[in-house]
């Protein structure tokens, strides 16, 4: 059925569901941290927190399309690697109007408030700060006047945003702040930031023309390729150090198994940073590394309770 004739499919695909998996996995890490500390998990609140974290992420994706339409980035992007870079192009292709996209994006963000307040009432007041920070990051990433992505701060917003996902999911169950979900979530958040960072390479020409000063635009391809290495090195060094100092269970070292995949992607970036249309295998590898790493982290946190 054509997208234009199927509103449900149209709006679902506008959220770029392919990328929502990282929020699902980030939530699992938070639940894994709870399980590692032998705290009983309430299934209903766990599912609710996971679901609406994904809704908030979807809202951020839709607003990103809206604001990239306003500044002209997506309309002039001739190097996009579908479906990974260059947005959904739903506005440019006439699937949704700018007004519909804007309304949908803000509706998704606002829709997480009622369940968030319910979760706070059944957990603790600290969830308000976590939820508010998450929503502000989701909005400020693309929206004026902050537009963090256009100021070279998009990756740092992503790290902070996914830390809120992991921490918030843990907090709902625990009812208090804990260090374990933060320590476990940092390498995953860095690998998610590497996805965003790498996706900027095919968009460099369009971003530059629209005045978007992303981190890759600021660094230029000569130096930006090394920025990718910095993100993955930071992720795996954090994980290894955390295991060595026993801030994470020893079993979590299994999450290092995705390092070869990340460094395989880096070899492609190193060779083809000036030819972004050849980066598709690296993008796929980076997405796989982040998701598999997160799943391994969640699973080993749960398993550490019995080892």
**Is the sign of the CA dihedral 280, 150, 77, 138 positive or negative?**
positive
Asked whether 153 and 196 are in contact (CB, 8 A), the reply is no
pTM, full prediction: 0.94
Could you give the CA distance from residue 78 to residue 74 in angstroms, rounded to a whole number? 9
**Number of H-type helices and E-type strands within the chain:** 12, 0
Asked whether 155 and 133 are in contact (CB, 8 A), the reply is no
State both tokens at 140.
């400020």
- Radius of gyration of the CA atoms of the chain, in A: 19
Could you give the CA distance from residue 172 to residue 302 in angstroms, rounded to a whole number? 17
How does pLDDT run along the chain (307 residues), one tens digit per residue?
344 457 888 899 999 998 999 999 999 999 999 999 999 999 999 999 999 999 999 999 999 999 999 888 888 887 888 888 888 889 988 899 999 999 999 999 999 999 999 999 999 999 999 999 999 999 999 998 999 988 999 999 999 999 999 999 999 999 999 999 999 999 999 999 999 999 999 988 888 888 889 999 999 988 999 999 999 999 999 999 999 999 999 999 999 999 999 999 999 999 999 888 899 999 999 999 999 999 999 999 999 987 7
State CA 280 to chain mean position distance. Answer: 18
Could you give the CA distance from residue 31 to residue 148 in angstroms, rounded to a whole number? 29
**Cα angle at 273 between 268 and 278, to 5 degrees?**
60
Count other Cβ atoms within 10 Å, centred on residue 112.
24
List the domain range (segments joined by +) for residue 12: 3-306
Residue 267 belongs to a domain with what CATH number? Answer: 1.10.600
Residue found by looking up tokens 């994470």 in the block: 248
pLDDT in the model for residue 253: 97
- Count structural domains, the chain: 1
Could you give the CA distance from residue 20 to residue 274 in angstroms, rounded to a whole number? 29
Could you give the CA distance from residue 50 to residue 71 in angstroms, rounded to a whole number? 32
Could you give the CA distance from residue 67 to residue 73 in angstroms, rounded to a whole number? 9
pLDDT in the model for residue 5: 53
> Any idea how long the chain is?
307
């Amino acid at each position: 059925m054509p997208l234009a004739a199927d509103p449900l499919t149209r709006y679902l695909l506008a959220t770029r569901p392919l990328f929502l998996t990282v929020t699902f996995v980030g939530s699992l890490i938070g639940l894994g941290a709870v399980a590692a500390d032998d705290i009983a998990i309430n299934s209903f609140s766990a599912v609710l927190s996971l679901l609406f974290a994904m809704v908030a992420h979807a809202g951020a994706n839709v607003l990103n399309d809206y604001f990239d339409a306003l500044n002209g980035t997506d309309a002039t992007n001739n190097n996009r690697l579908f479906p990974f870079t260059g947005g959904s192009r739903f506005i440019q292709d006439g699937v949704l109007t700018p007004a519909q996209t804007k309304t949908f994006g803000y509706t998704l963000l606002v829709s997480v408030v009622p369940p968030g307040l319910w979760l706070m009432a059944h957990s603790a007041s600290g969830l308000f700060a976590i939820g508010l920070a998450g929503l502000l990051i989701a909005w400020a990433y693309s929206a004026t006047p902050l537009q963090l992505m256009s100021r070279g701060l998009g990756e740092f917003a992503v790290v902070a945003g996914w830390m809120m996902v992991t921490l918030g999911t843990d907090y709902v169950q625990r009812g208090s702040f804990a260090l374990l979900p933060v320590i476990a979530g940092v390498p995953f958040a860095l690998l998610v930031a590497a996805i965003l960072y790498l996706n900027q390479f095919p968009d460099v020409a369009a971003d530059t023309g629209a005045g978007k000063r992303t981190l890759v635009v600021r660094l230029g391809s000569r130096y930006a390729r090394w920025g990718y290495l910095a993100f993955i090195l930071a992720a795996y060094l954090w994980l290894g150090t955390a295991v060595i100092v026993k801030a994470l269970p020893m079993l979590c070292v299994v999450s290092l198994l995705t390092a070869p995949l990340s460094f395989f992607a880096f070899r492609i970036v190193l060779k083809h940073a000036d030819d972004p249309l050849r980066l598709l295998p690296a993008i796929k590898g980076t997405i796989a590394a982040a998701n598999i790493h997160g799943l391994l982290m969640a699973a080993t946190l749960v398993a550490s309770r019995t080892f």
